Amino acid sequence: MDTLPVLSYDILHLVMSLSSTREVCRMMETCKLLCGEGAKFLLHNVELKDDRDIQSFTQFMATDPHRRIRYLHTLDFKCGRLSSETGVLLRVFLVFASPFLGLRYLMLAKPEELLRSDRGLIEAFSRIPASPH
């Protein structure tokens, strides 16, 4: 018999919405339920502002790519030019992820600058399927 109380998903998402990204990541390390729900919460709307964000995001996705990729709904690139290393990292992620992505929104704030970071990014972004919505 399970004597632990079950946490409502509504309460869980409320707690996560009031927490920082770092706190949600720490919650995810405590149990399988929070690991799965934390990924859903963090990946619903992803905003990437700079090299550091892209590096953290790709590292986070790499730890469980097949499960986490399905939670991506919105990718918002607010960044401009990236370092060459980050450009390659982003390209590799997009090439790997594109067959599995079901994005509703893909936004590029500064597309010319971003795409100049790595010549392969144009082709990598073009692999992302159009939204069925």
The per-residue pLDDT for 37 is 83
pLDDT tier, 7 (very low <50, low <70, confident <90, very high otherwise): low
Q: Does the pLDDT of residue 117 top 60, yes or no? A: yes
pLDDT tier, 2 (very low <50, low <70, confident <90, very high otherwise): low
Phi and psi, residue 2, nearest 5°: -85, 120
The per-residue pLDDT for 133 is 58
61 in Cβ contact with 93 (< 8 Å): yes
Phi and psi, residue 101, nearest 5°: -75, 140
The per-residue pLDDT for 31 is 83
Q: Does the pLDDT of residue 97 top 80, yes or no? A: yes
Ordered by start, the domain boundaries in the chain are 1-42, 44-132
Give the list of residues 6+ apart from residue 104 with CB closer than 8 angstroms, or none.
Answer: 73, 74, 131, 133
CA distance 88 to 119: 9
| Six token digits for residue 6 | 């079950």
Q: What is the mean pLDDT of residues 117-125?
A: 93
Edge-to-edge strand list for the sheet holding 105-108: 45-48, 74-77, 105-108
Give 16-40 pLDDT, tens digit per residue.
878 887 888 888 888 888 888 888 8
Give 68-84 pLDDT, tens digit per residue.
898 999 999 999 999 99
CA distance 58 to 91: 10
Amino acid at residue number 64: D
The per-residue pLDDT for 114 is 94
pTM of the model: 0.81
